[in-house]
Structure 1
Amino acid sequence: MDWDKLRIFHAVADAGSLTHAGDSLNLSQSAVSRQIRGLEDQLGISLFHRHARGLILTEQGELLFEATAEMARKLDIAEARMRDSEEQVVGELRVTATTGFGTLWLVPRLTKLYSMYPDLKINLILEERVLDLPMREADMAIRMKEPSQSDLIRRRLLNIRMRLYATRQYLSQAGRPLTVPDLSRHRIICQDPTVPQVTAGKLLVQQLLETSPRSLLMVNNYFGVLQAVLNNVGIGVLPDYLTVDFPQLVRVFDDVESADVPVFLAFPEELRSSRRIIVFRDFVVDEIQAYRRSLGTQP
Structure 2
Amino acid sequence: MDLNRIAIFVRVVEDRSFTAAARALGLPKSSVSRAVSLLEEDLRVRLLHRSARAVSLTEAGSIFYERVSRGLTAVTEAAAAVTDMEGAVCGPIRITAPVDVGVWMLAPAITRFVRRHPSVHVDVILTGRIVDLVEEGFDLAVRAGLLRDSALIARRIGNIASALYASPRYLARAGTPATVADLSRHQCILFRATRGRVIWTFTGPTGEERMELGGQISADDFSFVRRTILSGAGIGLVPPFMCRREIERGKLVRVLPEHSVPGAPLHLVYPTTRHIPHRVAVFRDHLLDHLNRYLDPAPKPPSAMALP
TM-score by length of 1: 0.71
In structure 2, the partner of 1:242 is: 242
CA distance in 1, matches of 2:157, 2:187: 33
CA distance in 1, matches of 2:128, 2:90: 28
Counterpart of 2:266 in 1: which secondary structure? strand
Query: What one-letter code is carried by the residue in structure 2 that aligns with 1:36?
Result: S
Alignment of 1:266 with 2:279, yes or no, is: no
Structure 2 residues without counterparts, runs of 5 or longer: 202-208, 303-308
More deviation in 11-20 or 166-175? 11-20
CA spacing shift, 1:150–1:58, aligned 2, 3 Å: closer
CA spacing shift, 1:81–1:165, aligned 2, 3 Å: farther
Contact 1:99 1:126 in 2 (8 A): yes
1:57-68 aligned within 5 A? 57=56, 60=59
CA distance in 1, matches of 2:68, 2:128: 28
Contact 1:160 1:240 in 2 (8 A): no
In structure 1, the partner of 2:36 is: 35
Query: What one-letter code is carried by the residue in structure 1 that aligns with 2:234?
Result: G
Counterpart of 2:287 in 1: which secondary structure? helix
In structure 2, the partner of 1:197 is: none
Overall identity of the aligned pairs, in %: 29
1:1-299 aligned within 5 A? 3-14=3-14, 16-18=16-18, 21-22=21-22, 24=25, 26-27=27-28, 29=30, 32-33=33-34, 35-36=36-37, 39=40, 42=43, 44-45=45-46, 47-51=48-52, 54-57=53-56, 60=59, 77-84=77-84, 86-133=86-133, 137-145=137-145, 147-149=147-149, 152-180=152-180, 182-193=182-193, 204=200, 210-213=212-215, 215-216=216-217, 218-244=218-244, 246-247=246-247, 248-254=251-257, 257-270=260-273, 274-288=277-291, 290-291=293-294
Structure 1 residues without counterparts, runs of 5 or longer: 195-201
Contact 1:203 1:258 in 2 (8 A): no
CA distance in 1, matches of 2:113, 2:184: 45
Per-residue deviation, 1:171: 1.9
Query: What one-letter code is carried by the residue in structure 2 that aligns with 1:137?
Result: G
Q: Relative contact order: is structure 1 or structure 2 higher (C-alpha 8 Å, sep ≥ 6)?
A: 2
CA distance in 1, matches of 2:149, 2:29: 41
Per-residue deviation, 1:252: 2.3
CA distance in 2, matches of 1:95, 1:281: 10
CA distance in 1, matches of 2:268, 2:240: 18
Per-residue deviation, 1:50: 1.3
CA distance in 1, matches of 2:234, 2:97: 27
Contact 1:9 1:36 in 2 (8 A): no
CA spacing shift, 1:141–1:12, aligned 2, 3 Å: closer
Q: What do you get for the CA RMSD once the two structures are aligned?
A: 4.1
Counterpart of 1:89 in 2: which secondary structure? coil
CA distance in 2, matches of 1:30, 1:268: 32
CA deviation profile, 1:175-194 (whole Å, cap 9, x unmatched):
22344554455433334446
CA deviation profile, 1:104-135 (whole Å, cap 9, x unmatched):
12213333223322222111222233334455
CA distance in 2, matches of 1:185, 1:6: 67
CA distance in 1, matches of 2:31, 2:90: 37
CA deviation profile, 1:3-32 (whole Å, cap 9, x unmatched):
444333334345555455456453462771
CA distance in 2, matches of 1:77, 1:143: 26
Counterpart of 2:33 in 1: which secondary structure? helix
Counterpart of 1:141 in 2: which secondary structure? strand
Query: What one-letter code is carried by the residue in structure 2 that aligns with 1:264?
Result: H
Per-residue deviation, 1:81: 3.7
Counterpart of 2:9 in 1: which secondary structure? helix
CA spacing shift, 1:25–1:159, aligned 2, 3 Å: closer
CA distance in 2, matches of 1:234, 1:150: 41
CA spacing shift, 1:96–1:50, aligned 2, 3 Å: same
